[in-house]
Amino acid sequence: MKKTDCVRLLCLFAVSLLALPALAETRLLRFPDVYADRVVFSHGGDLWSAPVDGGTAWRLTSHPGLELFAKFSPDGRWIAFTGQYGGDEQVYVMPANGGEPRQLTWYPATGPLPPRWGYDNQVHGWTPAGDAIVYRSQRDAWGSSSARLFTVGVEGGLPEPLPMPVSGAGTFTDDGRIFYSPLFRDFRTWKRYQGGWAQDLWLFDPGSNNARQLTEHPRTERDPMWIEGRGYFVSDRDGKLNLYRVDPDSREIVQLTFHDDFDVRWASADDAGRIVYEHGGVLRVFDVGTGEDRGIRIHVPDDGINRRERVVDVSGQIHGARLSPTGQRVLFEARGDLFNAPVDQGVARNLTGRSSAHDREADWSPDGQTIVFVSDAGGEEALYRVPADGSAAPRQLTAGLETRFYRPRFSPDGDHIAISDKDGIIYVLPADGGDLVRVARDEGWRNRDYVWSPDGAWLAFSLTEPSGLRALHLYSVEDGESRRLTEGLFAEYGPAFSPDGKFLYFLADREFAPQISGREWNYATNRVTGIYAFMLDPDTDNPFAPEDAEEKGLDAGSENDKANGDKGSSEDRRKPVMIEFDGLADRLLRVPVDAGNYTGLVVAENGILFGEYDAFYYGRAPQNPPRLKLFKFEDRKVVDFVSGVNSVDASLDGKRVLVRKGGAWSVHEIASEGREPEDVVTAGLRMRVDPVAEWATIFDEVWRRFRDHFYVENMHGYDWEELRERYRPLLEHVAHRSDLNYLMGEMIAELNVSHAYVSGGDEGLPERPHVALLGARFEVDGERYRIARILAGQNDEPRYRSPLTVAGVDVSEGDYILSINGQALTAGENVYRRLTLPAGQAVALAVASSADGGDAREVLVEPIDDETSLHYLAWVLDNHRRVSEASNGRVGYLHIPDMGPNGIREFIKWFYGQIRKDGLVVDVRSNGGGNVSQMLIERLARKPLSLGYSRTQPNVGTYPNQAFNGHMAAILDENSASDGDIFPWQFRNAGLGPLIGKKSWGGVVGITSHGPVIDGGSVNVPEFGFLNTEGEWVIEGEGVEPDIEVENDPASVIAGEDPQLERAIEEVMKRIEADPPRFPERPEPPVKID
């Protein structure tokens, strides 16, 4: 071929390339890093690399788990990252051009963590020499806020902690110092936050252990980077996260980027002075030398494996079930679809079959031919109906409402539907559609407590009173009026009509024989609920009147007939319900059943079915599972019906009940004692899932839930519609379920509020490994592992059991481990890799006091799954010792880790035994919140009103019982959160003593759940605001300021000091010396002789 022909051909080829459409830009590229001419990043849970100038990316990893936080080595030859190849998050290293990753860490990762907590073992970078990877781990932490940075060698081995006692992100400077943040909240969905947890950046000197603060601003500074003697970071001090520079000597700060639409996220720098970051899902690179900031247009040729449609078994994702009117079929709600499934024989039909809508809250029509349900298929929630056989498409019944609906229920005559909404309003509407008629509003909470009369003419329901108790009401469909049935002096709820409509049964908390505490003279109510009934028709016989054993003859009615009328035909039982309101209160009957913990009445022809459950213990499982009981009208006795019940639903005819026990479903005949139930087979519940459509449905539902339930209507002043339109276009770039959580998290974070969370969902992550932990730390000595430290425990408490300290286990610090389960162990193999063993099995260790194994012995050890509690116990016991020694035993100490089960347990455990101390330090540092702070404040604030002595007991008694009479101080820090914010605020409000430490988190808008989204993911909307008694918003977004601010600086902590605790002791002792707490001496005996 001639040269001119070659040139012509090449020119034509070039023109043809220009004619091709540009490759689509891929977004949602996350956690980038840069080196030389390339970038590395995560997309769809895998690692990819691309030219720094843009172009087509190439894949580095492919695995069902996540690969995140990739960092180039200083020489560009390696990439370190956090991966889930073994099931949990560990540190890996691989060649920068691709290849097989090597696992470097094996200690079990904490998790899976909710997105707001990020990931354990997060890679942050490399040491300057490139011989080790820097990562953040919770391996030695006693709580999530006490994690720190570690290094692990590129060839593996045991990790070594960096000197800082706690740390978030960090990087080495060119002179060996560490530019870092002591705090970590990088994954929090709360923008423009300025509470106590806002990160500042410090410069730590490993030589002196001194740290100097370089940034100080009420808002966030994160992503520390060091380039040519200056610090670079990201801050939202001007509204959006942007790049900044700080001079380490003058602390002068200069803003470098000025984005006002999306935040700068996950900035990372190389030695050449380039910073790569994510912005609106796109990667950008900033050149610190020239100030150029440009986007990198990247196309990721992903195969879309996570976006592909697939058929899945949804039998394990059932969120609701309704038994058909005669109990022959079951209507299941599973993964957003409705399934009409047979009890015995037949075909399961998917009635809706779409990932583009969340169909839920379904009910049968009385004739079993129609299903009514709530769906967001039209963009807003509405009521729909569909033929039960799936022969036609769903038809919408309501429109034009922006709300969330609950519990539609057909009237037994099939003419009406009752339904409630997010505002607690109960409505009635025609079954074929039409206007919603407002029945009543529950001003306490959303209402699901309503039931139709057998003739469909009346709706019975309960409403919350201002006292928080509930009262019964009746609504007439005919005249549209509601009548109040009870006064609300007691809690009355759970109405249920008898099949003939002559009685309205209900539950009421009216019987009080309180349970008395064993630690203090106080009570808790338990077993207060009874079953009651109104005789609606005064001409009806009392079925619970005293019995007369005279001959009644063959035609006399049975007790069943008295309670429910003549069984007769279906038509007879649907005769108009007659209600005489005059004198109704005098016709209140008590069903002869002892008071208990009851729920869920079902009134059948032969008796009353009801649920019973054990008393609730915070942090302890009930002794017995919930069970179903049957009160029989015939002999007025209660018999066990089904045990281990999770949920119950009755057929309309009152003859059968659907029971869920764990993941199994069965149908039981109420009137046939001893008859075997029919199992409901759910294996046929399979559906085709379209992840792309499902993700859009979830996104829109989350947006609506915040619109509908956010605690203030103005959405903190933000344009919620605009925020949806800003973030929704990124949906088309979601390549993994975790991307969706990230995207929704970015949207809800714009509201600048606490407790705005999304998590979970169908992420398809691998099964996590089990590691048998020994409660010990190891060091390498030659070719052996030596036990460097055994974590002390309290083996009488299961949660604090330390395996190697259990009686009979002959192991000591300094011993060598020779083998595990008979297999030799050498230093060349990671000890935690060898301890990755099946759960529930003992571990055989060969140990010796010398490396040569001269006195080898075998011990059998029962391992534990998690060592966090042992680290926590060690920290608490050390603090207790410090306080006792510094005060000569006069001051007590207790730490409250949260305001949930753990916190109240620790309070009870430590408070009462120290109640006669002269002082008490109450430590709520790193308190994770909950809801029990008011119980603790009540007890701490209890003061003696009088005293008492006995001749034979010299110790003084107080009234009220168990009242503390000494001086107190509370310690708080940046991680005292939620109810852990409220506690110190109320501690000061109650005048209990000074607050010492650092400003708290500042998040007090409370949350609840409104159920899962389609794929099981969770959403928490901040719904309950917090005000002081003057009606002012307090704490939220600001935190609680201490009375005395004390920083636990790294140098002091490394030296074994705790400045915050020491100042608390000092303040309490100062008050003790100024005002010694003492009770008066016993007075002289009174003389009472006239």
Residue 9: per-residue pLDDT? 39
Q: Longest Cα pair distance anywhere in the chain, in angstroms?
A: 141
Residue 550: per-residue pLDDT? 55
Residue 630: per-residue pLDDT? 95
d(CA 681, CA 892): 59
Residue 65: per-residue pLDDT? 94
How many other CB atoms are there within 10 angstroms of residue 764's CB atom? 14
Bridging pattern class, strands 678-680 and 664-669: antiparallel
CB 932 within 8 A of CB 900: yes
Residue 169, phi then psi, degrees to nearest 5: -70, 150
Mean pLDDT computed over every residue of the chain: 94
Residue 620: per-residue pLDDT? 86
Residue 565: per-residue pLDDT? 47
Mean pLDDT, residues 320-334? 96
CB 325 within 8 A of CB 367: yes
pLDDT digits (tens, 9 = 90+) for 685-743: 999 999 999 999 999 999 999 999 999 999 999 999 999 999 999 999 999 999 999 99
Name every residue whose Cβ is closer than 8 Å to that of residue 56 and which is 6 or more positions away in sequence.
23, 50, 298, 299, 300, 301
Residue 553: per-residue pLDDT? 46
User: Given a cut of 60, is residue 756 above it in pLDDT?
Assistant: yes
d(CA 605, CA 30): 62
CB 19 within 8 A of CB 272: no
CB 414 within 8 A of CB 365: yes
Mean pLDDT, residues 812-820? 98
How many other CB atoms are there within 10 angstroms of residue 459's CB atom? 24
CA 272 to chain centroid: 43
pLDDT digits (tens, 9 = 90+) for 722-735: 999 999 999 999 99
Radius of gyration of the chain (CA): 34
The model's confidence at residue 323, banded by pLDDT at 50, 70 and 90, is very high
Residue 513, phi then psi, degrees to nearest 5: -130, 80
User: Given a cut of 60, is residue 317 above it in pLDDT?
Assistant: yes
Q: How far is CA 952 from CA 528, 949, 955, 956, 1012, in A?
A: 38, 9, 9, 11, 61
CB 752 within 8 A of CB 1013: no
The model's confidence at residue 619, banded by pLDDT at 50, 70 and 90, is confident
Domains and CATH numbers, the chain: 110-306 (2.120.10.60), 310-448+681-689 (2.120.10.30), 449-546+557-651 (2.130.10.10), 776-864 (2.30.42.10), 869-1003+1039-1074 (3.90.226.10)
pLDDT digits (tens, 9 = 90+) for 781-809: 999 999 999 999 999 999 999 999 999 99
Mean pLDDT, residues 431-447? 94
CB 1044 within 8 A of CB 1061: no
Residue 12: per-residue pLDDT? 37
Q: Work out the percent of the chain whose per-residue pLDDT is above 70.
A: 95
How many other CB atoms are there within 10 angstroms of residue 443's CB atom? 12
Instruction: Supply the DSSP string of 888-903, one letter for each residue.
Output: TT-EEEEE---BSHHH
Mean pLDDT, residues 211-222? 97
Residue 671: per-residue pLDDT? 86
Q: How far is CA 1056 from CA 788, 894, 1048, in A?
A: 19, 19, 11
Residue 574: per-residue pLDDT? 66
Which tokens go with 1001? 């988190």
Name every residue whose Cβ is closer than 8 Å to that of residue 887 and which is 6 or more positions away in sequence.
918, 919, 1065, 1068, 1069
Mean pLDDT, residues 334-354? 93
Residue 344: per-residue pLDDT? 81
Among 291, 299, 295, 258, smallest CA distance to 278 is for: 295
758 three-state secondary structure: strand
The model's confidence at residue 5, banded by pLDDT at 50, 70 and 90, is very low
CB 532 within 8 A of CB 506: yes
Q: Work out the percent of the chain whose per-residue pLDDT is above 90.
A: 89
The model's confidence at residue 137, banded by pLDDT at 50, 70 and 90, is very high
Among 374, 368, 326, smallest CA distance to 352 is for: 374
Residue 145: per-residue pLDDT? 87
pLDDT digits (tens, 9 = 90+) for 112-126: 999 999 999 999 999
How many other CB atoms are there within 10 angstroms of residue 344's CB atom? 11
pLDDT digits (tens, 9 = 90+) for 847-900: 999 999 999 999 999 999 999 999 999 999 999 999 999 999 999 999 999 999
Among 924, 1036, 978, smallest CA distance to 193 is for: 1036
Q: Which residues pair with 160 in a beta bridge?
A: 151
Q: Residue 715: which region, alpha, beta or left (left: phi > 0; alpha: psi -120 to 50)?
A: left
pLDDT digits (tens, 9 = 90+) for 946-972: 999 898 888 899 999 999 999 999 999
